[in-house]
């Protein structure tokens, strides 16, 4: 039976890797998730045959747990709007990290339960061999140090180390992801919890490490509990100061961390499928995190410890010049008579659900012979590639969508650049103003286009709170209003020509 279980785990691991590989190309991506899904179902089903799964009560609890949580996750995943996908990824990822930590928790509880039993049986053997009383035998054993047995000796040093590491990483990923979810979902706005957050974070981190080491040597449930609590606290403290465009990076980092925690716990319980899948995700997630951080010209340590929000408060000088606005209809006509148009969508377009109207407008423009392209900044939306997903949802074919590096030189030859719901990623201050908090972040060179139309709800600053010099540029016209209404107005104007 164990052979079937192990063979199925092997097949599942192969399916995961092939699935992820297929997911890195648009043509095969949909096949990829199905392969990985088949692997997951196979691995889950055969685990019921695993020799360690014993007892009717436990089996029933497993079935109930999977059915209830799986059902709820299915329902929430189906129901959620496309714009809210990033926080759902954060939420589900946090659950995975929490599960890895809970696995470590069970193993430590088991180890602690074994300790007194081990001592008792040893004492019994000694008592009958040497013909002394139980109490005397126990005292003798304790004097020899056998009674000071701890988690490390119960689990084995290697297993204990990886279980503890996995628990620390898992708890941090769990609470950190939940904070990321709350922030993205608009349930939490604060950027610090206590004064001197940075130093408090460092202190909590050091304490967590100390308690992790103590857990290795302990036989006390209190130490283990405190260790888990400190891990959870550190996750919260790490995630709270992070905001703005750094959010996707931190979610990706927590995703990689969860993978790592799963891999470590896989070693702790001797499960090769978990080791392989977890480590693959840990490595892939780390690389993905680096790609994202690089897209914003920030290092991961910078994202983690600099505190984006703290910087912006000191900056944000007043801008010279005035915004000039134009009606949606005039803007539409301007586009209709252009030769080349590039549309730069941002999260604001998604919030206004304007992507369908924009695509309708683009189709009309194409019928008139206007060349239209979409330009996507690597961190447009709340996650890299998020905007691509939203445009694809509206029916925009992916060969019309260009990455920043591929299209940035074309803005200079473009008649009209349309910015809808994007802000920081088109702010020329990131290129020109060394004092700006977003200085150094690569941007789309929208300001080089002959005309720039900015569709925006109001006059305020963007997600990061930084003023945008593009809006007061000589070649810029602002179209104020709800994205969807503005797009409808443009469609009407072009249709009327």
Partner 1 sequence: MAIEGFVAIYIFMLAGFAGFEVISRVPVILHTPLMSGSNFVHGIVVVGAMVVLGHAESTAEQIVGFIAVILAAGNAVGGYVVTERMLEMFKSKDEQKKGAQE
Candidates 4, 7, 76, 371: give the one binding partner 1 (CB under 8 A). Answer: 76
65 binds partner 1 (CB under 8 A): yes
402 membership: H or E segment, kind and range: strand 401-403
Q: Return the number of the residue (59 or 128) whose C-beta is nearest partner 1.
A: 59
Residue 226 makes contact with partner 1 by CB under 8 A: no
**Coil/strand/helix, residue 453:** strand
330 flagged as catalytic: no
By CB under 8 A, what part of segment 146-175 binds partner 1?
158, 174
Instruction: Enter the tokens of residue 443.
Output: 């941007």
Stretch that binds partner 1, among 80-88, 208-216, 313-321, 357-365 (CB under 8 A): 80-88
Q: Residue 360 contacts by C-beta under 8 Å, 6 or more apart in sequence? A: 487, 491
In the complex, minimum distance from the CB of residue 485 to partner 1, in angstroms, rounded to a whole number = 25
By the rule CB under 8 A, 49 interacts with partner 1: no
Task: Mark residue 316 as left, alpha or beta (left: phi above 0; alpha: psi -120 to 50; beta: remaining).
Answer: left
Our CA dihedral for 62, 68, 74, 76, rounded to 10 degrees, sits at -140
Task: Report the residue number, 277 or 417, with the smaller CB distance to partner 1.
Answer: 277
Closest distance to partner 1 from the beta carbon of 11 (Å):
13
Binding marks (x or -) toward partner 1, 172..191, rule CB under 8 A? Answer: --x-----------------
Question: Cα dist. 241→122, 181, 414 in Å?
Answer: 52, 14, 39
CB of 41 to partner 1, least distance (A): 9
Q: Determine how many CB atoms are found less than 10 A away from the CB of residue 59.
A: 12
Among 11, 40, 188, 472, binds partner 1 (CB under 8 A): 40
| Residue 103 touching partner 1 (CB under 8 A) | yes
Q: How crowded is the C-beta side of 487, counted as CA atoms within 13 Å?
A: 25
Interface residues for partner 1 in 318-337 (CB under 8 A)? none
Minimum distance from CB of 495 to partner 1 (Å)?
A: 23
- Any residues with CB less than 8 A from the CB of 389 and at least 6 apart, and which? 82, 85
- Residues in contact with partner 1, total (CB under 8 A)? 120
How far is Cα 300 from Cα 246, in angstroms, rounded to an integer?
A: 10
**x/- site string to partner 1, residues 375 to 394, per CB under 8 A?**
-x-x--x-xxxx-xx--xx-
Walk across the sheet containing 476-480 and list its strands.
Answer: 401-403, 371-376, 340-345, 416-420, 451-456, 476-480
Dist CA 75 CA 311 (whole Å): 40
Catalytic residue among 330, 367, 399, 424: 424
Which window, 68-76, 211-219, 300-308, 334-342, contacts partner 1 (CB under 8 A)? 68-76
Show contacts with partner 1 in window 235-264 (CB under 8 A).
251-252, 255, 258-259, 262-263
């Amino acid at each position: 039976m164990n052979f079937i279980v192990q063979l199925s785990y092997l097949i599942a691991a192969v399916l995961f890797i092939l699935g992820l590989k297929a997911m890195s190309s648009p043509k095969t991506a949909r096949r990829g998730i199905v392969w990985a899904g088949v692997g997951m179902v196979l691995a889950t089903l055969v685990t019921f045959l695993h020799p360690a799964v014993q007892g009717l009560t436990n089996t029933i609890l497993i079935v109930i747990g999977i059915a209830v949580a799986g059902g709820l996750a299915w329902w929430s995943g189906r129901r959620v709007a496309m714009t809210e996908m990033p926080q759902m990824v954060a939420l589900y990822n946090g659950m995975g990290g929490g599960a890895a930590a809970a696995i470590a928790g069970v193993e430590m509880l088991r180890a602690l339960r074994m300790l007194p039993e081990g001592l008792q049986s040893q004492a019994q053997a000694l008592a009958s061999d040497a013909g002394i009383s139980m109490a005397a035998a126990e005292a003798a054993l304790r004097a020899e140090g056998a009674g000071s047995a701890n988690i490390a000796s119960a689990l084995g040093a290697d297993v204990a180390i990886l279980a503890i590491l996995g628990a620390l990483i898992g708890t941090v990923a769990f609470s950190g992801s939940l904070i990321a979810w709350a922030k993205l979902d608009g349930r939490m706005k604060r950027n610090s919890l206590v004064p001197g957050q940075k130093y408090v974070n460092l202190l909590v981190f050091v304490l967590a490490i100390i308690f992790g080491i103590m857990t290795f040597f302990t036989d006390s449930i209190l130490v283990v509990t405190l260790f888990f609590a400190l891990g959870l606290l550190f996750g919260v403290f790490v995630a709270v100061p992070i905001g703005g465009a750094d959010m996707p990076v931190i979610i990706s980092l927590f995703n990689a961390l969860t993978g790592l925690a799963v891999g470590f716990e896989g070693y702790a319980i001797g499960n090769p499928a978990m080791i392989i899948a977890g480590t693959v995700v840990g490595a892939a997630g780390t690389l993905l995190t680096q790609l994202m951080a690089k897209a914003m010209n920030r290092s991961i340590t910078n994202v983690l410890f600099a505190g984006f929000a703290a910087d912006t408060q000191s900056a944000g000088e007043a801008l010279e010049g005035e915004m000039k606005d134009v009606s949606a209809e005039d803007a539409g006509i301007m586009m209709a008579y252009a030769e080349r148009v590039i549309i730069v969508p941002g999260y604001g377009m998604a919030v206004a659900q304007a992507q369908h109207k924009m695509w309708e407008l683009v189709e009309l423009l194409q019928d008139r012979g206007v060349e239209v392209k979409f330009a996507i900044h690597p961190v447009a939306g709340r996650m890299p590639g998020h905007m691509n997903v939203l445009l694809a949802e509206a029916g925009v074919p992916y060969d019309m969508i260009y990455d920043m590096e591929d299209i940035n030189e074309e803005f200079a030859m473009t008649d009209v650049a349309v910015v809808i719901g994007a802000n920081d990623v088109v702010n020329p201050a990131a290129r020109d103003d060394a004092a700006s908090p977003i200085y150094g972040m690569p941007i789309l060179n929208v300001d080089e286009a002959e005309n720039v139309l900015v569709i925006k709800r109001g006059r305020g600053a963007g997600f990061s709170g930084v003023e945008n010099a593009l809006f007061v540029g000589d070649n810029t016209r602002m179209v104020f209003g709800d994205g969807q209404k503005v797009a409808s107005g443009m469609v009407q104007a072009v249709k009327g020509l």
